[in-house]
């Protein structure tokens, strides 16, 4: 397992959940929810978080169907990840599978008594935590960085 803090991002049309982990890659925690409708502003905020947290990499959740296929949502996230990579280079950006993370996050929050309307921004952060935790577990199990490294687009 490589040492170093990581950030994870759950990209949605309206909101972008952000999570971070400790330098040992043990525990993922929520950071904030970034408004996602204004993409240039969202990219600037994410770049500021990268500057603040100084991660070794940023993991972006790639929404795939249950079969593993990529649809229009995955294409949007790929394009966003490329732009993010251009903004934060030389920090690498990696796409990791995020199947069912938002559903899992919503179920967990409902079970803990968080109301859906109030919890929308928290759901995005919780989904980012799940993305990051899965990526950390995958790296621990395989010994290799998770997902697919993205080439930056400026």
The answer to whether the Cα torsion of 30, 14, 151, 47 is positive or negative is negative
- By CB neighbour count within 10 A (0-12 exposed, 13-18 middle, 19+ buried), where does 26 fall? exposed
The yes-or-no verdict on residue 116 having pLDDT over 90 is no
Question: Over 90: is that where the pLDDT of 71 sits?
Answer: no
pTM: 0.87
Spatial neighbors of 122 by CB under 8 A, at least 6 apart, are 30, 33, 109, 114
- Give 114's pLDDT tier (boundaries 50, 70, 90): low
Q: What mean pLDDT do residues 56-67 have?
A: 90
Alpha carbon distance 51, 41 (integer Å): 15
How many C-beta atoms lie closer than 10 Å to residue 92's C-beta?
17
Q: What is the DSSP letter of 152?
A: P
pLDDT (average), residues 7-23: 95
Write down all domains in the chain, each with its CATH number in brackets: 6-148 (3.30.420.140)
Residue 1: what pLDDT?
85
Is residue 102 very low, low, confident or very high in pLDDT (cuts 50, 70, 90)?
Answer: low
């Amino acid at each position: 397992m490589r040492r170093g803090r990581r950030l994870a991002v759950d990209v949605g049309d309206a909101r972008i959940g952000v999570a971070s982990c400790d330098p040992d890659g043990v525990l993922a925690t929520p950071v904030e929810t970034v408004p996602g409708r204004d993409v240039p502003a969202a990219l600037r905020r994410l770049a500021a978080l990268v500057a603040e947290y100084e991660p070794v990499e940023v993991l972006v959740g790639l929404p795939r169907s249950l079969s593993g296929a990529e649809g229009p949502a995955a294409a949007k996230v790929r394009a966003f990840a490329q732009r993010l990579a251009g903004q934060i280079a030389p920090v690498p950006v990696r796409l990791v599978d995020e199947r069912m993370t938002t559903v899992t996050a919503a179920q967990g929050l409902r079970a803990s008594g968080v109301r859906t309307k109030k919890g929308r921004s928290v759901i995005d952060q919780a989904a980012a935590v799940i993305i990051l935790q899965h990526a950390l577990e995958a790296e621990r199990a395989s010994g290799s960085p998770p997902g697919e490294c993205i080439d930056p687009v400026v």
